[in-house]
Copies of this chain bind each other. A is one copy, B any other.
Amino acid sequence: MATPSPQKIILIGAGNVATQLGIALYKAGHSILQVYSPSNKSATALAVKIKAQPITDLKKLTTTASIYIIAIKDDAIATIAKQLKFKDQLLVHTSGTVEMAVLKNSSKNYGVFYPLQTFSKSKPVDFASIPICIEANSKSTTDTLKRFAKSISGNVQEINSSQRKILHVGAVFACNFSNHMYAIAASLLSKHQLSFDLLKPLIIETADKIKQNDPHLMQTGPAIRNDKKTMAAHLKLLAADKELKIIYKLISNHIKK
């Protein structure tokens, strides 16, 4: 990790991403001047952790910071951006899907700071290994943003908007959809009075395998073996749940190919 050159930062947002990012930036030695959220409770909850001022009105935003980070829901970014007007302060959003261009009328220097990770307010994460995908409107802004990102992560990547969108779809499959597979398994077990704990070592090992291996080569189970008897038995067990049967069939067929 690079030696941080401490920045004055404003966090716009106080959700999962803002919370974990705010904590990481604070720990890296940056000053978080303000945390904005329309909810006073949310703004305060994060602000106290990182010695910032909580604000609930964008008009109270100080202009003396050097970096403004918008970490809010994707569909609210453009609306918030329209209410911001800076001279040359660096303005970034943290979204995997929103175009960098939505910020172009809000400052001379703007970009994207997308940490490729899943965040919860309550679960601490180690930013050091999280890929931070950056993009900015000029070479010099890119350099500034890269230096800044390196103050919290050893894995900073220049990724343009179209690549970032592909990464985001990839993340939906790899994270959101795999988590949903866990959730389906948990529901199945729970319906039959079996503890989800039984599957936890399996889930951890399945994820751990891809650290060193191509997931295509690590595929196991009845579908890849084309074990029709087992798949038929599984579909019979799932008979009560039509949708689950369809999901089972569809994914199994896709694995076979």
- Smallest CB gap from A222: residue in B: B172
Chain B proximity of A213: nearest CB distance (Å): 8
Tell me if A48 is interfacial: C-beta within 8 Å of chain B.
Answer: no
Min Cβ gap A238→B in Å is 7
With an 8 A cutoff between CB atoms, is A66 at the interface? no
Q: Does A28 contact B (CB under 8 A)?
A: no
The answer to whether B198 and A131 have CB atoms under 8 Å apart is: yes
Residues B208 and A204 in contact, CB atoms below 8 Å apart:
yes
The majority secondary structure among interface residues of chain A is helix
Contact check, A176 vs B223: say whether CB atoms are below 8 A apart: yes
Q: Is A221 an interface residue (CB 8 A)?
A: yes
Chain B residues lying within 8 Å of A237, measured Cβ to Cβ, are 165-166, 169
Q: Which residue of B lies closest to A207 (CB)?
A: B207
Q: Is the CB of A176 within 8 A of B216?
A: no
Q: A177-B251, A200-B210 in contact; A229/B74 too (CB < 8 A)? A: yes
Among A166, A174, A221, A227, find the residue whose CB has the most chain B CB atoms closer than 10 A. Answer: A174
The 8 A-B pairs at the shortest CB distance, nearest first, are namely A176-B221, A207-B207, A178-B178, A182-B215, A174-B185, A170-B185, A183-B215, A173-B185
